[in-house]
């Protein structure tokens, strides 16, 4: 039954009206909830806040928050946004948390009412009368206004204190006085507030207008701070001058004893390479010009490639953070923050997944648990899970994770558990009881381990559970349809009835996303937007647990609150380009801006979990330090688990993460590598950094020149006007430009200024020119309401990005397989800096493919993205003057390195061709050639040793990287270049897929995937190189042995280079052999070649009687 429930308020309080339909039949048309426009008529001001109206609004907020957290929201193109009330989202909810999704509270006892009773932060019913009569908020209002304050249960009047407690219920006066939009806008002050304060409130500074389809108000606060105001922003900044200012981070330069010789060796090797190439060009091999020409061309390219890779390594640095200073500045009581509440900015964490079959839900769920247990203020964290496949399996796995978090997160906080991924923690081989002083740790750990085992069983059993449930409901619907057909009398049509094979949720409703058996509007590329608040925003104050029976954990001293957790699946429709992962991330950026609007964003892959619970604080040290407002992102190194001890295929990639990235940190910052990156939200929005400069220097130093205008674009790929962060004085210009770029969501546009203000460092030092006052972020986060979630549903619709700049210059950039590199490049091109944060304890850990074929396909994807970058307008050759010279060289190398594959393959064949033809790349092995060769080799070795010294990697890791550089360069890189050229020239896209696979069944082997052999066309070039070099060695040895005048110098030269090639390809050959204990076909091929070689040698030593030739009349050429 539809009802229109107006909420009357006094003057000065917002008026709103919601049209709702109460029904639990969610499959019917009546089961939808439509939200009308929320229009703020008069803004609240510091002297216009009636207490009675504020109390009632606060209570209505609680009712709205309870409704939102218990509903599944869906919507999209040409369809009504619906809120489906869910009593449960999983079949077995073993542990309950008051923040979890699902309708909370008991049913109202008033006859004819099926609403829920309002609950508190612990999920307990709030009852206004001593008789404990259960009554919902609407019925309570009716009893107070129309029933002479009489309780419907005991017929006694409500005591005044009970009414007040029920209406307020521990809500702070500040939050009561502010509406949702006003609280958001109150967190933002003008950039010119420091040093000028006034004790009077200027009402002429207030400006209000109704904006957007949802009618949110916008209040522009005075540009001067208000002393003694209740907003918590006021305060005397001179207090900070009384004690010594300390930085949050320090830069540690590499020792000059290592760095100076390193730079000198780079210069020496450049000179040696130049002299060597000059000598090679002037001394051709007249006997084999073709061989000489090919070798010279390859060597010139190798020299250029080496320069592009080596020049950005001139300025490596290390950085360290000081978490004690961070705590002192942001979480210690002071005059500006008397309560000591956290003044840290909020962080929205994005986790992306697309296919539960390829990305196991248990892995994703454990990543979520590590996020929920992170050591960061609970009220400042929000986790968003993007399920781009829209699978019910992922949805219910996230619900199971939220349920298990009720026990896991308090356990981690109570006993300081590391790591906070339960699978990794319980798999640790070290003593789990070491350094644990609490007497109840053993009991708590056993109980949590038992619960975790049951939790794994439930998640692993979800596919069968969903299948059985769906089959039962579908069979029920088929029976109903058949009975209905027989009742009507259409016996002939009964057998033709076909009910869609729907996928059903735990509460007996259709899953609005992708069904197991695809159907129209329920397939991977065609389904509505889905949003579910799994864990609603926590309360502002810490919520301690209780001491219960002996079988449970004692949480009386532990904060049991959990960060907000939201499941998001964006809308997908046929005919729209959804832009894969980049499109999913941009949808999360918009949804999070509407719901939580954290000024910083951390993105993680579903298999990368938080290994160091304080990693977020480490990254925040850089963002909140002096000059942090010009940092676009903090990149953490990627560390991996489950890699074989020898790291056969260089999966750890330590040379890149510990050498190249540290070196880039000394220029303009590391590249963005796709995961483990903490972003500044305004940098993702495409704004220029404050105090942007044009960089004419080549490295860390150099002369810098300020840009004359922040509104003129420097990058050639950007055609539209840019706006500099902090330049919000001209509101008319901003209101005209920004909506065209960000879309038609007024709420999203309003959130930009708030995010920019909240992301500023503290203005606690005279050199900080773009800071915010201390204590400005100690206010509670607003509760969720239905209009907020409806707006979030709107901004993740498939049509929202039409005629906007999302993916062009805002958010993750579209058009490339490696959208991460392009996104980071755009930020550096606008003048932003980035920082590389290497923590003592790994910040994040993930998994990597250890199988040869999977590793080659991973490298293929990266190389294909690099080729796309080279042929696009994101080529570093077109970078703006805001990018430093060496940073441009680094990005140029990113786009050019796959092209080395052509020259590398030719050079790998040259030794075999030399051995077969009997010629060499030089006329003779004279002393000059050997000296140059020795000089090039020695400088390479010395550079490697010094890199190992200042980076901390091991020699074996460096050698594994060299080996896989050649393996990838002769296989995946070549395929990537061919694929890129075909795409650019002919518009043809080629995908390299697996054609056959065979593996073992030894489940006891931890590295069983290492030995699985999967054939792919990428293996053809390396196999050909190996075979050709082996055959060439055999032929050359035989020829030299049987020749009248053996030319041992040419043989040794050719064999040396052939063994150089084979040594680099040894891990590849080992991968072809497959599992230990089995003999693949390739071994028989090699055995045959060796048998032929040995037979020929034996015949040469002891030829057949009566002939002096091998095999009678056979002769070598």
Provide the β-strand partners of residue 526: 523
Q: Which residue's structure tokens are 């219920």?
A: 169
User: Rounded to an integer, what distance in angstroms lies between the CA atom of residue 672 and that of residue 828?
Assistant: 10
Element (H, E) at 249: strand 249-253
**φ and ψ at residue 70, rounded to 5 degrees:** -110, 15
**Residue 172: exposed, middle, or buried by beta-carbon count in 10 A (0-12, 13-18, 19+)?**
middle
User: What backbone torsions phi and psi does residue 320 show, to the nearest 5 degrees?
Assistant: -135, 155
Please say if 549 is a catalytic residue. Answer: no
Residues 529 and 591: their CA atoms lie apart, in Å, by 11
Q: What are phi and psi of 794, to 5 degrees?
A: -65, -40
Q: Catalytic pick from 231, 658, 750, 820?
A: 820
CA–CA dist 769, 628 (Å, integer): 11
Beta-strand pair 317-321/249-253? antiparallel
33/864 Cα distance (integer angstroms): 46
For Cα atoms 620, 626, 628, give the angle at the middle one, nearest 5 degrees. Answer: 50
996-998 vs 1013-1015, strand pairing mode: antiparallel
Residue 496's contacts (CB-CB under 8 Å, 6 or more residues apart) are none
Report yes or no: 523 and 538 within 8 Å, Cβ to Cβ.
no
Determine the Cα–Cα distance for residues 135 and 150; give it in Å rounded to an integer: 12
Alpha helices in 796-851 (DSSP H): 819-829
Q: Which SS3 state, helix, strand or coil, does residue 1064 take?
A: helix
Catalytic pick among 65, 343, 387, 388:
388
Give the Cα separation of 434 and 431 in Å (integer). Answer: 6
Determine contact, residues 547/91, Cβ cutoff 8 Å: no
Burial of 837 (0-12, 13-18, 19+ CB in 10 A): buried
Length of the chain: 1117
Please report, to the nearest 10 degrees, the dihedral formed by the alpha carbons of residues 1068, 1071, 1076, 1079 taken in order. Answer: -90
Using the structure block, give the residue that is written with the tokens 């039949």: 25
* Phi, psi of 160, rounded to the nearest 5 degrees: -60, -35
Question: Comparing C-alpha atoms, which of 515, 512, 514 is closest to residue 470?
Answer: 515
Its sign, for the CA torsion 400, 404, 406, 409, is: negative
- 688 tagged catalytic: no
Mapped onto helix, strand or coil, the DSSP state of residue 754 is helix
Q: Which of 676, 668, 614 is nearest to 639 (CA)?
A: 676
Query: What are phi and psi for residue 531, nearest 5 degrees?
Result: -145, 130
**C-alpha separations of 57 from 14, 43, 46, 52, 63 in Å:** 9, 14, 17, 9, 10
Report the alpha-carbon angle 1107-1109-1111, nearest 5: 95
Task: Provide the 3-class DSSP secondary structure of residue 919.
Answer: coil
Instruction: Please tell me what DSSP assigns to residue 74.
Output: E
Cα–Cα nearest to 28, from 67, 2, 65? 2
* DSSP bridge pairs for 349: 383, 602
CA 1012 to chain CA mean position, Å: 29
Q: Choose among 85, 126, 120: nearest CA to 108.
A: 126
Run of H or E residues at 600: strand 600-605
Q: What's the CA gap between 466 and 488, in Å, rounded? A: 33
In angstroms, rounded to a whole number, what is the distance separating the alpha carbons of residues 189 and 230?
A: 14
Q: Which residues are catalytic?
A: 388, 820
């Amino acid at each position: 039954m539809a009802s229109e429930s107006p909420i009357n308020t006094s003057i000065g309080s917002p008026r709103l009206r919601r049209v709702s339909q109460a029904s639990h039949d969610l499959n019917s048309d009546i089961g939808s909830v439509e939200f009308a426009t929320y229009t703020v008529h008069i803004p609240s001001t510091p002297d216009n806040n009636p207490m009675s109206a504020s109390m009632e609004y606060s209570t209505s907020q609680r009712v709205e928050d309870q409704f939102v957290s218990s509903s599944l929201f869906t919507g999209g193109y040409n369809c009504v946004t619906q809120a489906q009330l869910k009593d449960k989202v999983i079949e077995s909810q073993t542990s309950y948390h008051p923040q979890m999704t699902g309708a909370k509270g008991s049913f109202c006892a008033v006859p004819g009412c099926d609403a829920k009773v309002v609950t508190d932060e612990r999920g307990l019913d709030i009852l206004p009368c001593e008789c404990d009569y259960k009554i919902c908020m609407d019925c309570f209002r009716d009893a107070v206004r129309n029933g002479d304050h009489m309780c419907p249960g005991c017929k006694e009047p409500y005591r005044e204190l009970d009414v007040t407690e029920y209406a307020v219920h521990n809500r702070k006066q500040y939050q009561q006085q502010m509406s949702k939009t006003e609280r958001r806008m109150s967190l933002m002050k003008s950039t010119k507030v420091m040093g000028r304060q006034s004790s009077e409130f200027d009402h002429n500074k207030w400006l209000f207008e109704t904006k957007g389809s949802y009618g949110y108000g916008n209040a522009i606060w005075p540009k001067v701070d208000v002393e003694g105001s209740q907003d918590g922003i006021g305060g005397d900044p001179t207090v900070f001058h009384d004690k010594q200012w300390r930085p949050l981070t320090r830069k540690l330069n590499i020792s000059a004893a290592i760095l100076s010789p390193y730079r000198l060796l780079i210069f020496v090797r450049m000179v040696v390479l130049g002299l060597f190439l000059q000598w090679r060009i002037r001394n051709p091999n007249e006997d084999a010009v073709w061989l000489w020409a090919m070798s010279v061309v390859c060597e010139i390219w190798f020299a250029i490639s080496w320069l592009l890779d080596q020049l950005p390594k001139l300025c490596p640095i290390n950085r360290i953070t000081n978490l004690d200073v961070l705590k002192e500045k942001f979480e210690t009581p002071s005059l500006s923050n008397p309560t000591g509440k956290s003044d840290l900015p909020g962080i929205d964490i994005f986790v992306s997944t697309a296919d539960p079959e390829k990305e196991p839900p248990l892995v994703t769920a454990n990543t979520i648990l590590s996020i929920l247990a992170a050591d960061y203020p609970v009220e400042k964290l929000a986790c968003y899970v993007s399920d781009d496949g829209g699978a019910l399996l992922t949805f219910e796995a996230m619900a199971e994770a939220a349920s298990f978090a009720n026990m896991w997160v308090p356990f981690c906080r109570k006993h300081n558990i590391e790591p906070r991924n339960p699978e990794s923690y319980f798999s640790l081989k070290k003593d789990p009881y070491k350094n644990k002083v609490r007497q109840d740790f053993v009991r708590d750990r056993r109980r949590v381990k038992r619960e975790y085992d049951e939790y794994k069983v439930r998640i692993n059993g979800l596919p069968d559970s969903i299948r059985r449930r769906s089959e039962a409901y579908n069979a029920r619907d088929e029976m109903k349809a058949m009975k209905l057909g027989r009742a009507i009398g259409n016996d002939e049509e009964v057998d033709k009835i076909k009910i869609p094979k729907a996928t059903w949720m735990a509460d007996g409703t259709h899953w609005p996303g992708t069904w197991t058996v695809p159907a129209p509007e329920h397939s991977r590329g065609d389904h509505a937007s889905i949003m579910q608040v799994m864990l609603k925003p926590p309360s502002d104050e810490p919520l301690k647990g209780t001491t219960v029976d002996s079988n449970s954990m004692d949480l009386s001293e532990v904060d049991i609150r959990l960060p907000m957790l939201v499941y998001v699946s964006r809308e997908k429709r046929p005919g729209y380009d959804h832009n894969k992962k980049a499109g999913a991330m941009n949808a999360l950026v918009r949804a999070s801006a509407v719901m939580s609007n954290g000024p910083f964003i951390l993105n993680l892959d579903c298999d990368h979990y938080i290994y160091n619970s304080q990693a977020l604080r480490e990254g925040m040290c850089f963002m909140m330090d002096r000059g942090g407002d010009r940092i676009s992102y903090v990149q953490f190194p990627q560390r991996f688990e489950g890699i074989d001890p020898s790291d056969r295929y260089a999966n750890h990639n330590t040379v890149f993460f510990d050498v190249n990235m540290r070196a880039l940190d000394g220029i303009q910052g590391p590249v963005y590598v796709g995961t483990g990156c903490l972003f500044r939200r305004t940098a993702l929005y495409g704004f220029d950094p404050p105090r942007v400069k044009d960089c004419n220097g080549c490295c860390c130093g150099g002369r810098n020149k300020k840009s004359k205008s922040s509104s003129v674009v420097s990058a050639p790929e950007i055609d539209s006007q840019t706006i500099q962060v902090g330049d919000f004085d001209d509101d008319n210009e901003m209101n005209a430009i920004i909506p065209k770029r960000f879309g038609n969501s007024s709420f999203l546009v309003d959130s930009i200024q708030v995010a920019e203000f909240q992301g500023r460092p503290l203005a606690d030092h005279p050199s900080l020119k773009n800071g915010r006052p201390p204590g400005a972020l100690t206010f509670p986060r607003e509760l969720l309401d239905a209009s907020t979630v409806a707006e979030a549903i709107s901004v993740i619709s498939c049509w929202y990005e039409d005629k906007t700049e999302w993916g062009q210059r805002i958010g993750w950039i579209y058009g490339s397989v490696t959208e991460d590199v392009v996104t980071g490049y755009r930020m550096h091109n606008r003048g932003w800096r980035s920082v590389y944060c290497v923590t003592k304890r790994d910040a994040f850990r993930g998994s990597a493919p250890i199988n040869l074929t999977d590793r080659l396909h991973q490298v293929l994807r990266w190389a294909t993205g690099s080729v796309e970058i080279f042929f696009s307008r994101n080529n570093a050759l077109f970078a703006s003057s805001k990018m430093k010279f060496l940073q441009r060289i680094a990005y140029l190398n990113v786009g050019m390195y796959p092209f080395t594959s052509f020259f590398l393959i030719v050079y790998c064949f040259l030794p075999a061709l030399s051995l077969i033809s009997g010629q060499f790349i030089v006329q003779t092995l004279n002393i000059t050639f050997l000296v140059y060769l020795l000089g090039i080799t020695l400088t390479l070795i010395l550079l490697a040793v010094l890199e190992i010294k200042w980076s901390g990697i091991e020699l074996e890791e460096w050698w594994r990287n060299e080996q896989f550089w050649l393996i990838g360069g002769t296989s995946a890189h070549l395929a990537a270049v061919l694929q890129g050229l075909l795409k650019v020239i002919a518009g043809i896209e080629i995908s390299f897929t697996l054609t056959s696979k065979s593996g073992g069944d030894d489940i006891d082997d931890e590295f069983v995937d290492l030995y699985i052999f999967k054939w792919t066309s990428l293996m053809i070039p390396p196999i050909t190189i190996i075979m050709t070099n082996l055959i060439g060695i055999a032929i050359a040895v035989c020829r030299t042995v049987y020749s009248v005048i053996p030319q041992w110098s040419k043989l040794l030269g050719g064999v040396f280079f052939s063994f150089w090639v084979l040594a680099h390809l040894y891990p590849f050959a080992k991968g072809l052999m497959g599992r230990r204990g089995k003999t693949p076909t390739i071994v028989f091929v090699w055995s045959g070649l060796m048998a032929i070689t040995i037979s020929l040698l034996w015949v040469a030593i002891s030829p057949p009687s009566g002939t002096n030739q091998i095999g009678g009349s056979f002769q070598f050429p």
